[in-house]
Structure 1
Amino acid sequence: MTGTKRTREGSGRVKLEAVASAANVSTATVSRVFNEPDKVSEAIRERVKEAARALNWIPNAAGRALASSRTHIAGAIIPTLDNEIFAHQIGGMQAVFSNAGFTLFLGCSNYDPLEGLRQAEAMLARGVEAIALVGENHPAELFAALKARDIPYVVTYSYSKLSEHPCIGFDNRAAFIRMTDHLLALGHRRFAGIFQPVANNDRVAARLAGVRDALAAADLAMADENLLVGPSTLEFGAESFSHLMTREREVRPTAIVCGNDNIALGALMAANALGLKAPTDFSITGFDDLAISSRFAPGLTTMKVDNQSIGTSAANQLLAVVTGRQAGPQSEEVAPVLQIRDSSGRWPQDRA
């Protein structure tokens, strides 16, 4: 048994030496490439990894963790896989973590806080060194577990100066105040909203608060029957729009604020089927600026969020803590940009 163990260990050393020889570097450099990649130039990293791939050599993750007390694993928990905005965010994180020699574990909560907690606990059990979480709507036990283990974390896709958590994202409430103000400036006074569910989603709650606050500042309010809440789907957007437009022209809303682009695009599809056109018959806005939003006819007025930048910043903040370059993650605000397109226009006062 001892002989077998020595043979395996010896074989491992030979393979490491073979990689070093093929890359024309020392064995210590090979080790640094996989354990401390930031201490090795990019050219040498690529040379060593190319040699490792050619020799079919993969470093033993468990051995690395035991030797260095490091796992080089980070985690990210997102609410859904059905939205491209989170794919962009994860793409930004993945690029940064991969370049630093980290593996990114991905979990999906499906907007269920308890499932998010289970995902986080599974990641902690596997030794993640840092975690990124979308939004603040997570059980207190999750944040307590991270703090108890001294695991750095950031909250993404949300930002508040009053938050107790390090945030990398944008102020959802402020964004929707700005969007509503845009429609108010165009002369609209009868508003409706089509939104995804508020339950377990602090971002949507903040967006709705922004709409209501902007309307209140203009001495207006959105009637309860004008707020439709349901799945973030094209179908729900279409059904909701059709429902709103069955009313007499004199009382139906002239401006519709949607919780995201997906819902707004569904509404525009329904408008085409009903023979209605924005902005002549109504104005509508979305949020996120999906790839199709500028190519749809009419082009959708929305807000562009640089989700890849959010992911990149989140990963950089977490790595700075993990590698000892700073004490804790710092909050960063990534401001969304209003994209004014043909789906919103001035509402004539004689038709208000």
Structure 2
Amino acid sequence: MVKPSGPVTGTQALSTINPDHPLPRKNRSSNSDGRTRLPVAQDVAELAGVSIATVSRALNEPEKVRPATREAVMKAAAELGFVLNSAARALSTRRSSTVGVIVPSYGNEVFVRALSSFQRTMRAAGYQVLAASSEYDLATEMQEVTFLLQRGVDGLMLVGGIHDPALYARAERSQVPIIQSFSLSDREYCVGFDNREATFRAANYLLDLGHKRLAVVTGTRENNDRAAPRAEGCASAMAERGLELSPAHDLIVSSGIVAGRDAFSQLMGGPEEQRPTAIICGTDEIALGIMSEASERGIDIPRALSVIGFNDSSFSAVLSPPLTTIRVDADEIGKSSALALLNLMGAKTMVQVTRITPELVLRGTVAPPDKL
């Protein structure tokens, strides 16, 4: 499990001090036998000149306390070295001020960007984020969800719509809402985009330029409802024009740059008249691998081969040539998922499906085919 660090906020509640980081002696009170003790709520109340109940409200439900009183309580708590603890708050309010996120992989930049945006939004609302990676394995994801539920998270964000059915039942029993991200679903609350439509548009752009032999290369399609629709989008665009996506041009590879290099070797190893003139990739990393292998073999991109990536990763614009790619606004997905989950946890009504529109970013890796 990964628990991103962040400042403790006023929405979290009281706690004892971590013994590994004891308070300075001047901030500690003394027992009758002369031993020091950790400050408690009563000490804060006495210093701030308020009741213990007011201290509790100021730290647990600050919106219910006048600003001046809240400031006095926070100042007294800081002076005494009194710290806040979400565990104590969870016992009294049945809310932990934590939410869980499970992504398929930390190796995909788009998931990391979405997670960062999600965390920023949640932190601003007073929540901490516990994150984990499933590595595209449903059993691993179930283990992580079980752990998060045992930790008492108030909500969950999951990627995609393929999950163990028992996961939803377990979350429902715990009364923990789930928001789905990166793909669309009529069954669950979700923030995502139409993966099929994204590559359908990209394929049509290539076909309009005169390409007839397209290829598509994606990562694993097992437990992944994003990769397969991307291949389907390309095939559908070709079918509408009386063309067929050859099975030899529809590849499933492992993720990463090396996988892209291997894919290039498979696609370009046959007779020239059978090779694709354009390749749509399921990720920018795969596209980078294809570009790298093409460069080593002296194949000019885009004159001899057009390449389109997916995600608009941070390196895409600085490649030579710059990569044409399908941009997914990962920051918006993360932010919108956080806001949607906050609404669900607050029992507020919300739109069940929030649709994000991908954008085809034209750069330097696409051109009309040199030879048809």
Q: TM-score range by the shorter chain?
A: 0.7 to 0.9
Is it true that 1:105 corresponds to 2:130 in the alignment? yes
Summarize deviations over 1:173-215 as a string: whole Å, max 9, x none. 1111111111111110011122111111111111111111111
Is it true that 1:309 corresponds to 2:300 in the alignment? no
Q: Aligned residues, how many?
A: 340
Is it true that 1:122 corresponds to 2:138 in the alignment? no
Is it true that 1:221 corresponds to 2:244 in the alignment? yes
Alpha-carbon shift at residue 102 of structure 1 (Å): 1.2
2-structure distance, mates of 1:40, 1:339: 50
- Counting only pairs closer than 5 Å after superposition, residues 3-18 of structure 1 correspond to structure 2 as 11-14=39-42, 16-17=44-45
Alpha-carbon shift at residue 28 of structure 1 (Å): 6.5
The answer to whether the 8 A contact 2:199-2:233 is kept is: yes
Structure 2 residues without counterparts, runs of 5 or longer? 1-30
Is it true that 1:195 corresponds to 2:223 in the alignment? no
- Counting only pairs closer than 5 Å after superposition, residues 112-261 of structure 1 correspond to structure 2 as 112-160=137-185, 163-261=186-284
The answer to whether the 8 A contact 2:195-2:229 is kept is: yes
| CA RMSD, 1 decimal | 3.0
Q: Which of 326, 336, 342 lines up with 2:358 in the alignment?
A: 336
Q: 1:78 to 1:254 in 2, by over 3 A?
A: same
Summarize deviations over 1:303-336 as a string: whole Å, max 9, x none. 1111111111111111122234x14663211111
- The aligned amino acid for 1:148 is R
Identity %: 35
- The aligned amino acid for 1:16 is V
The answer to whether the 8 A contact 1:286-1:303 is kept is: yes
Alpha-carbon shift at residue 145 of structure 1 (Å): 1.7
Q: Which of 296, 300, 312 lines up with 1:277 in the alignment?
A: 300
The answer to whether the 8 A contact 2:231-2:250 is kept is: no
Q: TM-score, normalised by structure 1?
A: 0.87
Is it true that 1:287 corresponds to 2:310 in the alignment? yes
Summarize deviations over 1:248-305 as a string: whole Å, max 9, x none. 3222110111111000011001111111111110111110000110110111111111
Q: 1:215 to 1:49 in 2, by over 3 A?
A: farther
Q: TM-score, normalised by structure 2?
A: 0.83
Q: 1:227 to 1:289 in 2, by over 3 A?
A: same
Alpha-carbon shift at residue 227 of structure 1 (Å): 2.1
Summarize deviations over 1:61-90 as a string: whole Å, max 9, x none. 222112112111111111111111111111
1-structure distance, mates of 2:74, 2:189: 34
Q: Which residue of 1 aligns with 2:10?
A: none
1-structure distance, mates of 2:292, 2:184: 32
Structure 1 residues without counterparts, runs of 5 or longer? none
The answer to whether the 8 A contact 2:220-2:252 is kept is: yes
- The aligned amino acid for 1:187 is G
2-structure distance, mates of 1:234, 1:220: 29
Query: Which stretch has the larger CA shift, 326-335 or 186-195?
Result: 326-335
- Counting only pairs closer than 5 Å after superposition, residues 18-57 of structure 1 correspond to structure 2 as 21=48, 31=56, 34-36=59-61, 56-57=81-82
Is it true that 1:72 corresponds to 2:120 in the alignment? no
The answer to whether the 8 A contact 2:41-2:52 is kept is: no
Alpha-carbon shift at residue 34 of structure 1 (Å): 4.5
The answer to whether the 8 A contact 2:41-2:55 is kept is: no
Q: 1:15 to 1:102 in 2, by over 3 A?
A: farther
- The aligned amino acid for 2:309 is G
The structure where helix makes up a greater share of residues is 1
